[in-house]
Amino acid sequence: MVSAAFALDTMSDFTLEDINGDQVDSEELLNKRAVIIDFWAKWCSPCKKAFPHLSDLQEKYKDLVNVVCISTDKARDAGKVKSFVKSKNFEFITLLDPNKNVTKLFNINTIPRTFIINENGEIVYRHEGYIQGDEHELETELRKVIYKDITIEELNELFPPEELPEPITYVSPVYPEKAHEDKVEADIILDLEIMEDGTVGQVCLISASKDTTCGFEKSAIDAVQEWTFQPVTVDEEAVKARFLYPIRFRIEKQ
């Protein structure tokens, strides 16, 4: 069952069967902060190379995201699709679209094709194809959606300050002169990528100041790009890692 599309600005309603034989309605998928929808087929090698990363995202952000992989394979191949997915123990939801009703709804001409949809049903990110490294861009864009407008209090509940790595080289953000003169205070939340050598890679703005003319965001980003950390390790091997960091601009009380 498919309703009319809205120029791919929003996700239209649809219902598809999953690999367990249950009917899944698109509205059910919007019960979290974001949905990743990935169109694939069993014959598509790049599609299958992306699967472990999609499964990792589902596991890592399971309380905030629904990852949905929609098979465009024909009905006669449904058994092979089900066997393949179940044998890999992937964490994501797998839906079957043998008649390509939903595939056409999303105007899919090539696969893999990946979308991020926010909790309001708005399509906020699109990507075509898969090569190694694309998963980092996908996670970056996902984090912008699931953590959008998060407050310091909410951040501290999700990531207690004592669990965040501390910079070993710290540069203090400069309080913008105009904001200081006007006694404007702000909380800025950044998403930092810590590289294997402990330097800061990509920096994304998650939560901005209400007064965007003061320059708090630039000051915070300029500072953290100079920070360094102890490398984050997994099984004694340095890895890239991402953390949300709060930057609080407060005028000292006299």
Question: Which domain CATH number covers 185?
Answer: 3.30.2420.10
Structure tokens at 9: 């600005």
Q: What is the pLDDT of residue 2?
A: 36
Q: What is the pLDDT of residue 254?
A: 58
Distance of alpha carbon 36 from alpha carbon 171, whole angstroms: 36
| 139 and 225 part of one domain | no
| 140 and 28 part of one domain | yes
Residue 165: cis peptide before it, omega within 30 degrees of 0 = no
| 103 and 209 part of one domain | no
Averaged over 198-220, what is the pLDDT? 90
| 37 and 79 part of one domain | yes
Higher pLDDT, 152 or 2: 152
Whether the pLDDT of residue 13 is over 50: the answer is yes
Whether the pLDDT of residue 184 is over 60: the answer is yes
Classify residue 6: in a domain, yes or no: no
**Which of 115, 120, 51 has its CA nearest to residue 89?**
51
CATH of the domain at 76: 3.40.30.10
Classify residue 41: in a domain, yes or no: yes
Distance of alpha carbon 223 from alpha carbon 175, whole angstroms: 11
Segments forming the whole domain that contains residue 179: 152-249
pLDDT in tens, 65-74: 999 999 999 9
CA angle (155 as vertex; 206, 126 as ends), nearest 5: 35
| 187 and 231 part of one domain | yes
- Confidence category of residue 5, pLDDT binned at 50, 70, 90: very low
Q: What is the pLDDT of residue 243?
A: 93
Averaged over 121-141, what is the pLDDT? 94
Distance of alpha carbon 164 from alpha carbon 124, whole angstroms: 29
pLDDT in tens, 233-247: 989 999 999 999 999
Task: Tell me how many domains the chain contains.
Answer: 2
| Residues of the chain above pLDDT 70, percent | 96
Classify residue 2: in a domain, yes or no: no
Higher pLDDT, 68 or 150: 68
For the whole model, what pTM was predicted?
0.84
pLDDT in tens, 86-104: 999 999 999 999 999 999 9
Residue at which a domain ends, from 146, 162, 180: 146
**How many other C-beta atoms can be found within 10 angstroms of the C-beta atom of residue 161?**
11
Averaged over 50-69, what is the pLDDT? 96
Q: What is the pLDDT of residue 8?
A: 57
**Which of 108, 135, 158 has its CA nearest to residue 36?**
135
- Confidence category of residue 207, pLDDT binned at 50, 70, 90: confident
| 137 and 158 part of one domain | no
Distance of alpha carbon 158 from alpha carbon 172, whole angstroms: 24
132 burial class (0-12, 13-18, 19+ CB within 10 angstroms)? exposed
**Which of 91, 93, 146 has its CA nearest to residue 119?**
146
| 239 and 187 part of one domain | yes
